[in-house]
Amino acid sequence: MTEKGVIIIGGNVQGLGLLRTYARNNIQTIVINNKQLDIVKFSKYLKRYIFFRDVGKPQKLKDFLITLAETEDLQDWVILPTEDSVVYTLSMYKSELEQFYKIPTAGWDVVKVTYDKKLTYLLAEKIGIPIPKTFYPTSFEDVLLISGTVEYPCLLKPAVMHRFYNQTGKKLLTVNSREELLSSYQTMARLIPPSEILIQEIVTGTPKHPISFGCFMTKDSVSWIMIEKKRMIPLDFGVGTYNETVMIPELKDLSLKILNELGYTGLCEVEFIKDSKDQRYKFLEINPRSWLQITITNQSNKPLIPLVYYYHQNKTEMVHKITKTNNDEFHKIKWVHFWQDIYVVVTQALRGTISLSEYLKTFLGKVEYAVESWDDPLPFLIEPWLYCVSFVKKIIKKRSLLKDASVEAELN
């Protein structure tokens, strides 16, 4: 291949969005994934899909990428991750991989603070950014002491989310009493190191709509967008299924404060939620990569996905065209993941919290669809069937991983 392109590591909805965006901008792509069956494989824009089982193993992925560059002349192609485990690999081996590729991911000295939520929260507290009240136990004895002071219900959160999620399909555990906290902590400690378990208050307020500041930062500029997750799956602590752009200057300032403190460069998402108790926005996390709803920027005057490519390939004119436009021009752009959002809407309708007319307003104005596309329809049509396959696989995997009956009962 003579033209430099983009290697997308990871698939699903996010990988599909990156693939389509680059293809529509006449930029070559290769998708590397550890799934034989993925929604990306049904896109007409897919030219090459490489199945690599060990995507989640840093040393093996690094060696594979180097071999791929040498054998297929991929010098200076850009690599974009969609998963935290791949971020870890690219940041840890950045100096080695940069001999072959363009790596927008920041180095490990920066990424480690975003990768481990314990380090992230400690930094936020240090520089005066509000966070939900958080405890950092290192042993069961610590939890015993904390259990008498924490307000219930509260959360048990893994500091490194993907290690827990890959085993359980859950991002966190909600506990409602002291006894449940002690039991759930012991359950979680059998799956991940106890030092990686955080206890955190639940930010109060209804509805709970996290706000995300998504950006691409360089040493010279920052291009950004801000979205509110209007509907999520799961309903309280989930990923967005319907989002709208918003403008909250305070959150832009807080986001840039922590990112500048880190010396961050590259793509990232900074997330906040408003606490009804004190009416303050509380910092939740930084995702140091492209994020699920990043294709919403395709509808704005700051299309971040092609910008990353143009920047790293030194296409100065294209970079200047995007970065010099007014960031304040986006207004009420929407992002919808149709099939997942249907599930959320039906659930809310049964609870009486949404009407048909409210739902239909979802499709008014400028809308970016996560999967639905008139010029690439097959992924949208096949997606529900893939969910069925994924559901069955998760049940099988959970039963094989959680052999301890008490662990399985706790997580259910």
- DSSP state, 102? B
Helix (H, G, I), strand (E, B) or coil at 9: strand
pLDDT tens readout for residues 343-388: 999 999 999 999 999 999 999 999 999 999 999 999 999 999 998 8
| CATH class, 211-369 region | alpha beta
Instruction: Give residue limits of the domains in the chain.
Output: 6-105, 129-202, 211-369
Vertex 18 angle, CA 15 and 23, to 5° = 125
Per-residue confidence (pLDDT) for residue 117, from 0 to 100: 92
Q: Are both 6-105 and 211-369 of the same fold?
A: no
Helix (H) or strand (E) holding 382: helix 378-401
Distance of alpha carbon 187 from alpha carbon 329, whole angstroms: 48
Per-residue confidence (pLDDT) for residue 268, from 0 to 100: 95
Per-residue confidence (pLDDT) for residue 126, from 0 to 100: 96
Residue stretches of the chain with pLDDT short of 70: 1-2, 205-207, 236-237, 326-330, 397-412
Per-residue confidence (pLDDT) for residue 400, from 0 to 100: 65
Helix (H) or strand (E) holding 317: helix 316-323
| CATH class, 6-105 region | alpha beta
Residue 68 makes CB contacts below 8 A (sequence gap 6+) with 50, 74
Q: What are φ and ψ of residue 350, in 5° steps?
A: -65, -25
Per-residue confidence (pLDDT) for residue 3, from 0 to 100: 80
Q: What is the pTM of this model?
A: 0.89
Residue 13 makes CB contacts below 8 A (sequence gap 6+) with 39, 292, 337, 370, 371
- DSSP state, 101? S
Helix (H, G, I), strand (E, B) or coil at 100: coil
SS3 content of the chain, % helix, strand, coil (to 5): 45, 20, 35
Which residue, among 133, 126, 127, 186, has the nearest Cα to 155 in the 3D structure?
133
Helix (H, G, I), strand (E, B) or coil at 185: helix
Per-residue confidence (pLDDT) for residue 1, from 0 to 100: 47
Distance of alpha carbon 44 from alpha carbon 61, whole angstroms: 27
| CATH class, 129-202 region | alpha beta
